[in-house]
Amino acid sequence: MSGPSLDVARLLGSGLLERAAETLAKRLAAEPDDVGLLRSLGRVQRQLGRLGDARAVYARLHALDPEDSRAAYLDALLAGRPERFPARPPGPWPAPYAAMPDFLSGERHRELLDHAQRHVAECRPVSVAGDEGTVQDAEVREGLVFDYPERICAWFRELVAARLPDVWQSLSAVPLREQTIELKMTASRPGDFFMAHCDDRFGRRVSFVYGFHRSPKRYSGGDLILYDTDWSGEPAPETDFTRIPNRDNCLVLFPSVAVHEALPVVSDSSDLMDSRFALVGHVRVPEGPER
């Protein structure tokens, strides 16, 4: 057997991924080395955001065929080893990313929450970049943005900059040199979202999202979707993707050229402090020879 049945294909197309995963797992129990089934299950688990389960599937595929470059790439990607990414041939490939859990100390995390508590009532609607400047467009993005003091901006930028050398080569084709880090603090209420887009304008090379919230968490959703990207510059269909669950105190970095979106937040709370908070930004590096 070479892959999923027609019923599973329909499940994938309809978005009923949980049922697809169950069907594939049952078939693999009888045929554990079926490469087609394994590839399909890895894809579904990646779309569900079950990244540990997806990684186990791709590790199995790589063990079955050490020459399988896609399995090797996804094994390294989902294991958090960006330095081991094999070269990507032309065509759509899963967008690389680097996730850094427990990014801030408890003291710094509390500082962000304290600032949000004091100033969340001053939030204003978020804007998006257009051809004629920034505009508010509720069909593309809904959410809130608020100001933060320079001292927060300064130490957060320093922490991000300190981690860039570890991941830059796997996320950007431009050498890491003189850089500017843009930063914005946002709050996402029930129903807030950001449609699929990419950030590769104004010299942006790497984008990042740092999520935080108070405990206990009173919302779901708000996950980051990274669509597979064709690094040769050809457009790729927005069908295959990696779902990165939204987690407290976790920084996620990814190429600004990668198409991505933020799923709607789901909550029955009207308290703004129950929002999905985030520090989002971009690392800008000019093109041209190193100075």
Between the alpha carbon of residue 115 and those of residues 102, 146, 291, the distances in Å are 19, 10, 38
Residue 88, pLDDT score? 66
DSSP 159-227: HHHHHHHHHHHHH-SSPP-S-EEEEEEEEE-TT-EEEEE----TTEEEEEEEEE--SS---EE--EEEE
Residue 86, pLDDT score? 61
**Cross-strand pairs, 124:** 145
Between the alpha carbon of residue 150 and those of residues 103, 125, 126, 172, 288, the distances in Å are 19, 21, 20, 28, 30
**Mean pLDDT of residues grouped by 10 in the chain (291 residues)?**
35 70 95 96 93 96 93 90 65 89 97 94 82 71 90 96 91 83 95 90 93 96 89 64 94 93 92 96 76 36
Taken in order 31, 49, 61, 256, the sign of the CA dihedral is positive
Between the alpha carbon of residue 133 and those of residues 130, 136, 137, 184, 223, the distances in Å are 5, 10, 12, 17, 27
Rounded to two decimals, the pTM is 0.89
In a 10 Å sphere around its CB, with 0-12 CB exposed, 13-18 middle and 19+ buried, how is residue 112 labelled?
Answer: buried
Residue 33, pLDDT score? 95
Residue 32, pLDDT score? 95
Residue 205, pLDDT score? 92
Domains and CATH numbers, the chain: 6-87 (1.25.40.10), 98-284 (2.60.120.620)
